[in-house]
Copies of this chain bind each other. A is one copy, B any other.
Amino acid sequence: MSAADGAAGSLVKADLTRLSLNQKTTNSWGVAQAVAGCVRKGIPAIGLWREPVQDIGVERAATLVRDTGLRVSSLCRGGFLTAAEPAARQRALDDNRLAIDEAAALGAPCLVLVVGGLPDGSRNLPAARERVADAVAELAPYAGERGVRLALEPLHPMYCADRAVLSTLAQALDLAELFPVEQVGVVVDTFHLWWDPAVFAQIARAGGRIASFQVCDFNLPIPADALLARGMMGDGVIDFRPFREAVDAAGYTGDIEVEIFNADVWAADPDDVLATMIQRYADLVL
């Protein structure tokens, strides 16, 4: 990836109306810088993260995005709902209610949920999954009343033990479908799902349950911090267009968020990252 990638004539022709910058992609920027970056580059939407939002306060962040006319495509993230110990579980539920309130204040249509992995020392995967289901049942009406949809994110199976016991879109839909569609949806993230032989059938099944569509590439080798294997589109192994077409065919008309955790991307000039992101989005996703 180089800055030159972004300096191209095709930019003026690309349709950016559905493009959203997930704030994590420009990890060194606070909310104000990310919002300003989107405005400079003509990116109409942003996916916010709780920590940088809290750094400046929810009201200030909400004002910033409202004043620029940006859409908030999602708030990342709630979840981590697998604690077995009652006090820890209560803390998690309370924090998720707060996250729902923040999403509502920001005008985010959905709160992305990374549901959590196995508690330390536990090997009881079915029990962890049950606690997730119970917690979603507690949170869903609260979210619905505030106009926020819980977006269950199946994570790549390599994160099953430590991040999310929800690993496939089928599994996420099995859970989401227990609740009203306006309360609980799912995230389709190419990085997490690209390998799944059932994914296109499940995207078709998902239909109106798709609350968020996130794109980024799967890079090899998997780095020492496995969370940072996410790459700029085109740098890895994923064929994006079939995913975008499948999500479109399922009826999803929302934003397409680019969310990249990657040490090299984070070390680059964020303005160059945005330029490359726009170019790759136009060339590989649209």
Q: A124-B239, A239-B123 are in contact. Are A196 and B161 (CB under 8 A)?
A: no
Which one of B129, B161, B237 lies within 8 Å of A220 (CB-CB)?
A: B161
Q: Closest residue of chain B to A124, judged by CB? A: B239
A230 to chain B, nearest CB (A): 13
Distance in angstroms between the alpha carbons of A237 and B239 in the assembled complex: 32
Q: Is the CB of A195 within 8 A of B226?
A: no
State whether the Cβ of A222 lies closer than 8 Å to any Cβ in chain B: yes
Interface-central residue, A124, A129, A157, A167, by most chain B CB under 10 Å: A157
State whether the Cβ of A178 lies closer than 8 Å to any Cβ in chain B: no
Q: Is the CB of B239 within 8 A of A196?
A: no
A212 to chain B, nearest CB (A): 21
Provide a sorted-by-A list of 12 A–B residue pairs whose CB atoms are within 8 angstroms: A118-B237, A123-B239, A125-B194, A125-B239, A157-B158, A158-B158, A160-B195, A162-B220, A167-B196, A168-B197, A221-B224, A221-B226
A residues engaging B (CB < 8 A)? 118, 123-125, 129, 156-158, 160-162, 167-168, 170-171, 194-198, 218, 220-222, 224, 226, 236-239
Q: A222-B226, A226-B222 are in contact. Are A197 and B123 (CB under 8 A)?
A: no
Chain B residues with CB below 8 A from A162, complex form: 220
Q: Closest residue of chain B to A237, judged by CB? A: B161
- State the oligomeric state as a number of copies: 2
Distance in angstroms between the alpha carbons of A156 and B222 in the assembled complex: 13
Distance in angstroms between the alpha carbons of A167 and B222 in the assembled complex: 17
Q: A118-B237, A195-B167 are in contact. Are A222 and B124 (CB under 8 A)?
A: no
Return the 7 tightest CB-CB contacts between A and B, nearest first.
A160-B195, A123-B239, A157-B195, A158-B158, A161-B237, A171-B197, A157-B157
Distance in angstroms between the alpha carbons of A159 and B123 in the assembled complex: 23
Which one of B156, B161, B236 lies within 8 Å of A157 (CB-CB)?
A: B156
Chain B residues with CB below 8 A from A197, complex form: 129, 167-168, 170-171
Chain B residues with CB below 8 A from A220, complex form: 161-162
A216 to chain B, nearest CB (A): 14
